[in-house]
Each structure stands twice: as C-alpha cells, then as structure tokens.
Amino acid sequence: MAVAVLVFFWGGRFYAPLIGRVLGERADRVTPAVAINDGRDYVPTRTPVVFAHHYASIAGAGPIIGPVLAILYGWGPALLWILLGGVFLGAVHDFVATHIAVREGGKNLTVIARRYIGKGAFVLLLFLLVAILALVCAAFLDLSATALTSKVDIATLQLSPDQTMFRVVDGQAVIGGIASSSVVVITACSPLIGFLYLKRKWPVWICSLLAIFICICSIIVGLRWPMSVEPFTWKMMLSGYVLIAAGLPVWLLLQSRDFINVHILYMGIVFLVVSLVAAAVRGGGQISQISGIPISNWAQGSSTLGPGWPIMFVIIACGAVSGFHSLCAGGTTCKQLRDEMAARKVGYYGMLLESFLAVCVVCCLVVGLSLQAYKGYCYPEVAKGNAVLTFAMSVGHTANMGLGLPIAAGALGAMLLLEGFLVTTLDTAIRLTRYLIEEGWATFFGRYDVFAQVSQGPQEAVELVGADGISVEEPHIAGDLRTGPVVETRGLSRIVLRTLKYYWVNSGLAVGLMLLLALTNSYLAVWEIFGSTNQLLAALSLLVGTTWLIRRGRVIWYTLLPAIFMLVTSFTMMIRLLVKTYIPGWQAGQTGMTALLVADVLVLAMAVGIIGLMLRRWLAGDEKIAE
C-alpha cells in the first residue's frame, strides 16, 4: 500500500502535468458550464463538489468487485496491473476525455467523433455506447440486489443468536439491508444539500458537515429499519428512482446525492487504510504464508477462469482503466467545471483515488482471508459465488485484526461503501444513456422541424464570454446546428417526434434496456462482457483523443500506445467469450445467452467499423487546427 501511494504520487506530481502540456491546458479559457449555464445540465460548480460527483460516479463497484474476482491469479499480478494501468492508462484516459469534452463545448464522445471522424463514426459509436451502458447498468443493478440480500452465518460474524444488529433468516444474518436503507435516506435528503450549496451558496465545508450528519443519520435509520424486500422489488425501486432522476436538473438529485454519499466513500477508504495499517502494526498472524492468498497463483487462476491475459486485465476493469469514465467526463462532469485546469484535478486525480481504492481492496483480501476462505466465498465448488460477500468478510476480518472491531461491524462498513458506489453509478449511467439517445434522435431526425436548430450564420465557431470577461473561440459549437431546409411535420409523425424529445421517454428507454439484461442474467454472467466492452470503450476513447491531438499537431504516443494495448486485450477477450461461452450457451438454450451473444457480436462489428473510419481519417491527413 505504501508503494502504491508513492507510485500514484509520482503519477499525479509529474506525469499528469506532462499530459496537461500535451493537451495544451490553459487556465484562461471559458468553460461550457460558465458560458451556457442553463441551470439544468450546464451548471458551474466548485471543483470539490464536481470531484465528489465524478468520483462517486466513476468508482462504482468496479474497483471493488474487479480485484475480488481477479485476485485468484495472485495478489502480485493484480497489484502490478492496478498500479501501471492506473497511472499510464486509466488516469491518462480520464484526463484526456475530460479535457477534450470541455474544449469541445461540453459535448460527449459521440459528438466529438462526428466532428473529427465523420457521421458514420458518430452513428456506430452511439449504438456502441448505448449497448455498453446497458451492460454497465445491468451488472450494477444486479450487484445492488445481491448486496441487499447477501447472507452469512451468525457464527461466522462472531455474533450471538439473539443479536439485533442484523435481520436473521434461517440462522443467517442479512448484512445488506442496512446499507440499502441508508441509500434511501441519503437520496431523500439530496435536494436540500443541492439547494444550500448551489442556490444559497453555502461554503463547501459547511455542506460537508451537514452531509456527514445525514450519512450518520442514514446508518442509524438503516440499523433501526433495515430494508427487507425481494431482489426483484429492489431492482424495480431503483429503476423507478433512476428513471425520475435522469430527467431532473443535475443538481437536484444526481450531483447533490453524490456529494452526500461520497463522504461515506471517503470515510470508507480512510477506514480501510487505518484498518490495514493497524493490522500490519499489530501483526495479527491469523493467516499464515502457506494458507494465505499467494503473491502468484497464476496456474490455479488460469485453470479456473482461463488464461490470465486477457482475462485478469479485463476482470479488474475500473481499478486500472475504464471506458465508462469517458462517458461521465463527457456527460455530466464537463458541464460543471468552472475552469479548464480542474479537468486534471477531477480526471487524473479521480482515477488515481479509484486505483488506490482497488489497492486497498487487494490488501484487505490478503490480510483478511485465507485462500480457502476466499475461494469458499467467491468461487465455491457448488452454488454461486458472491463477490460482494467476499469483500465484506475480508474487510470484517481485517478490521477485527487491526482495530479489534467485531467482524460484523467491518462487514457492515464494507456494505455501506459498496452499496453507495453502486447506486451513484446507476444514477449517472442512466442519465448518460438518456443524453446519448437524445443525441441520436437529434441526428437521425435533425431535418424535421421538431428537432431542427437553424444556425444564424455559416460560421464554424461561436464566441463564448465568461463572467470574468475573458472571451475565446470554441470551435464547432454552431457547426452542430442544421443549416439546410427544414421539413415541417403534422399529425401522428409530429406527435411521435415530439414524444421523443421528452426526458422521461428517453430515460424510460434507458431503464428498459437495463432491465432487459439485468432480469435475464446475473452480474457474474454480465461482468466479463461488461469488462471487455468497458476496456474496448477506453481504447476507442483514447483513439478519439489521439485523433483530436493529430488535428492539432501534438504528440500522440501517450494516448496511442495505451489504446493499442487495450484494443488488443479487449478484442481477444470478446472473441474468446463468443467462441467459448456465448455460442455454446446459446446452442444449449441457456437463459440470457441470446442477449449476450448479440451484444458481443454487435459491439465487435461496430468497433471494427469505428477503427476503420479512424484509420481512413488519419491517412487522409486533414489540415491542422490552429490554436
């Protein structure tokens, strides 16, 4: 863990400024949040608040569940990939995506691809991103339901049968209901926090104290009234919430809810660090070198899960690099930054903190569980494994060893940390899917009067003037508006097109896609293709960033080399899934295999098309953009 701190410090102190110089970051440029400031999506916000929202959105379950599943290969390979991937791939990807989205008027990845690669790339990438987000949401929705219903024997938690902390079912304690109740309380209090820090301009530190108080109250409520519903009901409740939240102003629920919940996440990370340091100092010695998770378990991991490359690199997912982060950067984050330099703080440093969380998870697994116990929770020979419970029990034993806390208390803390991450990511991902669907309608039906926006002139740039009086030219903003003839609509066609402009309709489509996958597959079935498509999206995002740099005559190796590595890794994994799992499963009539097979084939086909269009544009040698 100490080595990880040094590596991440070096990355943030020296490598991040290097990437900033390559990108050409400047403090005096006016950001889209300041220039547009529509009070709904474009809202200039203080950097600590944006960081909280961004970090809560990107972290999700990835840096927790990924290392839990992948450490079967040994903690050494997992740790090495998290460190190198975090500094040279993941953080660079996030910084580049955030900076470019801000420079391009707060537009998402698809719009940027259309500007620099062409409309064909836009259409392919649009469908690709919607498919990937559906997989992300499906995996996290099922994980949230799994967390809610995770059970463990009372004796394992070292609790007496008459304990009152957890609800007991058939002699097993349900340890997830408390965290789910906490989520409900935090969500209900979110509008108040948003009103105070944004509308009343309360200082961030006061809002933070209030947020901590709300978090404490939510845990007390959870202990008193733990959630007790079926997984299907919980999935429907979450789906209804994100359906509504995706259409409301960003500050009302999404941003403010993330701001409150991130304090649990921050405190959770501090709790993990303190527990690990205390365990090291106290030297509990409960797990011997022989029985513990080894530094390398490559042979056993490969025989159980398949070859370490590409599988381990894909399973760890968000702990090292994640394409989903580019969607957050180009969806909500870029519309909230008050100055361009904040892109580095939010993008690069946010990813480093996520990778550090993944390192803490690896350490807790090594300290808290023997190899036998780990496999019993995560990869049992009979029944289905539970990565959520594996993480909770590793934290429980680590806190018990280091701080002398009951195992149950540590496990509860782990559940609070994980459930909060899951719901914040779902919240953001559905809104991002809504954005993409709306971009698609505006493109496909842009010639009709309902969607058409006619520009005021042929210019390819619009001057944006910020509150400080500094004016700059932001390219292409007016270029997105239609200049050709507009087709008038009447009757049913007009009603249909107007319906497609409603927030709730597009949010409903996003939720419907999520449920289609989540109700037919568990997170274990979705995780591998989620990780593969997620890493593929990271590669494509870096390639779009490379195209952006080429047009400006800048150095490209810092984005191109990571893109090539992730491209080869993700393609190999997706082809392997197709041949080894989905086609045989579909032929055998396994439930949910058809949706996964179709998703795999479509994603591969669209990715090949996008790469082909990029290569053609690179070889065309377009005229450089002067800055």
Q: Decide: 358 and 67 in contact? Cβ < 8 Å.
A: yes
Q: What is the mean pLDDT of residues 336-360?
A: 94
Q: Decide: 397 and 377 in contact? Cβ < 8 Å.
A: no
CA angle 570, 383, 516 (to 5 degrees): 50
The residue range of the domain holding 56 is 2-446+500-620
Torsion angle defined by CA atoms of residues 100, 444, 455 and 505, in that order, rounded to the nearest 10 degrees: -80
Q: What is the pLDDT of residues 299-318, one digit of tens each?
A: 999 999 999 999 999 999 88
Using omega within 30 degrees of 0 as the cis cutoff, is the peptide bond preceding 226 cis? no
How remote is the C-alpha of 297 from its chain's centroid?
A: 28
In this predicted structure, what is the pLDDT of residue 464?
A: 35
> Domain for residue 453, yes or no?
no
| Two structure tokens written together for 471 | 């004016």
Element counts in the chain: helices (H) and strands (E): 27, 5
Q: At 289, is the pLDDT very low, low, confident or very high (cuts 50, 70, 90)?
A: low
Q: Decide: 192 and 185 in contact? Cβ < 8 Å.
A: no
CA distances to 272, 285, 402, 501, 551 from 278, in Å:
10, 13, 4, 55, 52
405 pLDDT more than 60: yes
> Domain for residue 490, yes or no?
no
d(CA 96, CA 82): 19
Closest to 53 measured CA to CA, from 269, 431, 336: 336
Q: What is the pLDDT of residues 239-250, one digit of tens each?
A: 888 888 887 777
CA angle 117, 123, 126 (to 5 degrees): 105
Closest to 148 measured CA to CA, from 357, 519, 429, 416: 416
> Domain for residue 350, yes or no?
yes
Q: At 83, is the pLDDT very low, low, confident or very high (cuts 50, 70, 90)?
A: very high
d(CA 412, CA 38): 41
In this predicted structure, what is the pLDDT of residue 470?
A: 29
Q: What is the pLDDT of residues 476-533, one digit of tens each?
A: 333 344 456 788 888 888 888 888 888 888 888 989 888 887 777 666 677 788 888 8
> Domain for residue 476, yes or no?
no
| Two structure tokens written together for 338 | 């008050």
Q: What is the mean pLDDT of residues 126-151?
A: 81
Cβ of 295: how many Cβ atoms within 10 Å? 13
Closest to 276 measured CA to CA, from 572, 607, 5: 5
In this predicted structure, what is the pLDDT of residue 579?
A: 93
471 pLDDT more than 50: no
Closest to 356 measured CA to CA, from 68, 580, 87: 87
| Two structure tokens written together for 577 | 């899934």
Q: How many residues does the chain have?
A: 627
Residue 487 φ/ψ, nearest 5 degrees: -95, 125
> Domain for residue 413, yes or no?
yes
Q: Decide: 599 and 128 in contact? Cβ < 8 Å.
A: no
In this predicted structure, what is the pLDDT of residue 7?
A: 97
Closest to 101 measured CA to CA, from 48, 39, 50, 49: 50
SS3 201: coil
> Domain for residue 470, yes or no?
no
How remote is the C-alpha of 413 from its chain's centroid?
A: 21
> Domain for residue 491, yes or no?
no
Number of domains, the chain: 1
For position 98, which CATH number holds? Answer: 1.10.4160
Q: What is the mean pLDDT of residues 592-602?
A: 85
> Domain for residue 489, yes or no?
no
